Amino acid sequence: MRWLLLVFVVAACGGSNSSSSTGGSPQALVVQAVGTQSSAIAAPGGTLQLAAYESVAGSYGGSTLQQVMASWSSSDTAVVTVDPNGVVTAVANGTAVITATAGSATGQATVTVGATPAAVTIEWNLGAQTSPVSTTITAGTPVQWHASDTNHTVVADNTPPPATVAVNQGTTTPAQTITTKGTYHYHCSIHPAMMGTLVVE
């Protein structure tokens, strides 16, 4: 089965200094899927609803996302199309960039139509106490943990691996699809010396 994989990219706004009701200024336009945290849908013909948001900083720190009306475009309509309401439709294999524009602010989502990547299995055993586990994956690739020696947990130190998930002896965790690039560290709460690193490129 083919799938549509979506990697979200936040594009910095330029030139917009309008203030929100809290006195902050819009900092970015964020493109997100609506109603799902999954970045994969069936293709061809599969669809995904996108929405555009401004990230507005408040006067006392912090920020909120406010949905805005936007115009939409695809860099390659032979791969994916997008309608005026932000609905993306897969057409053929390949990669295209969906751009949302609201005033001078823009946000982008890189869309790839293709086969579902196979899950990467990380062996999570007591050996990680002396030799920390390090794994590198491509954004959008499912990842799962397997324990063969005894019961363990996977606890994220700086997200986004599972916040906390049990890995009992002889079992494998449900696959997690991570689309946010970065270097993430995790450990086992049962055996705290067990350390792991997941690099998402």
Task: Measure CA 36 to chain center.
Answer: 11
Judge if 29-113 and 120-200 fold alike in CATH terms: yes
pLDDT at 142 over 80: yes
Tell me the fold of 29-113.
Immunoglobulin-like (2.60.40)
Contacts of 130 (CB under 8 A, 6+ apart): none
Cβ distance 57 to 24 under 8 Å? Answer: yes
May I ask the CATH architecture of the domain 120-200?
Sandwich (2.60)
Q: Considering the entire predicted model, what is its pTM?
A: 0.48
Q: Cα dist. 8→30, 40, 60, 64 in Å? A: 8, 12, 28, 18
- Per-residue pLDDT tens digits for 80-131: 899 999 988 988 876 778 899 998 888 877 777 776 677 899 999 999 999 9
How confident is the model over 6-57, as pLDDT tens digits? Answer: 544 444 444 444 333 334 444 467 887 776 555 555 567 888 888 888 877 6
Q: Please give the radius of gyration of the chain, using alpha carbons only, rounded to the nearest integer.
A: 20
DSSP 180: S
Domain ranges across the chain: 29-113, 120-200
CA distances from 1 to 41, 44, 76, 93, 172 (A): 10, 9, 22, 12, 23
Cα–Cα dist 111/106, whole Å:
16
